[in-house]
């Protein structure tokens, strides 16, 4: 059996993916992959996702330069979520979020509201010229 056949793809042929920083354990982002994206990620050693908004493959960092070097690809116990252990490249500390932050999970719930708690490391206007 092909290893890709063991993944439980949803009705759209996608699987959710979590990118986690290898050396800190920080959760950087959530995205989607189709079969081709997962195969390319394994082949290249760099994260390739399926962009639902663009309806195409998206090599993380193709515009920003913030590439994700993949150290491990893991599959959860139900075979329906992929975890990538990555090193976020392109800026120190690594920027994974299109807002210029280290992680896409920068809002924290506090007293009935969502508050941004992580700084912008680089202005997105400088990243996406």
pLDDT tens per residue across span 25-52: 999 999 999 999 999 999 999 999 999 9
Q: At 87, which helix (H) or strand (E)?
A: strand 82-88
pLDDT at 36: 98
- Write down the mean pLDDT value for the chain: 94
In a domain, 122, yes or no: no
pLDDT at 93: 75
Global pTM reads: 0.90
Query: What are the Cα distances from residue 111, in Å, to 25, 105, 114, 115?
Result: 27, 18, 8, 9
In a domain, 43, yes or no: yes
pLDDT > 70? residue 87? yes
CA distance 3 to 38: 10
Q: SS3 for 128?
A: coil
pLDDT band at 128 (very low <50, low <70, confident <90, very high): confident
In a domain, 86, yes or no: yes
In a domain, 48, yes or no: yes
In a domain, 118, yes or no: no
pLDDT at 129: 67
In a domain, 19, yes or no: yes
Q: What CATH number is associated with residue 65?
A: 3.10.20.810
Domain enclosing residue 16, as ranges: 3-92
Contact 97, 118 (CB under 8 A): no
pLDDT at 103: 94
Number of folded domains that form the chain: 1
In a domain, 21, yes or no: yes
In a domain, 36, yes or no: yes
Q: Nearest 5°: CA angle at 78, between 75 and 80?
A: 60
């Amino acid at each position: 059996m092909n290893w890709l056949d063991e993944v439980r793809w949803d009705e759209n042929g996608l699987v959710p993916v979590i990118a986690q920083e290898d050396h800190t354990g920080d959760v950087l982002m959530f995205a989607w992959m189709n079969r081709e994206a997962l195969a390319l990620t394994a082949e290249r050693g760099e994260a390739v996702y399926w962009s639902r908004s663009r309806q195409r493959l998206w090599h993380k960092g193709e515009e920003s330069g913030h590439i994700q070097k993949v150290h491990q690809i893991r599959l959860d116990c139900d075979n329906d979520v992929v975890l990538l252990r990555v090193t976020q490249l392109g800026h120190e500390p690594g920027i994974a979020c299109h807002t210029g932050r280290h992680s896409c999970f920068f809002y924290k719930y506090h007293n009935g509201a969502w508050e941004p708690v992580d700084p912008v490391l680089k202005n997105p206007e400088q990243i996406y010229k």
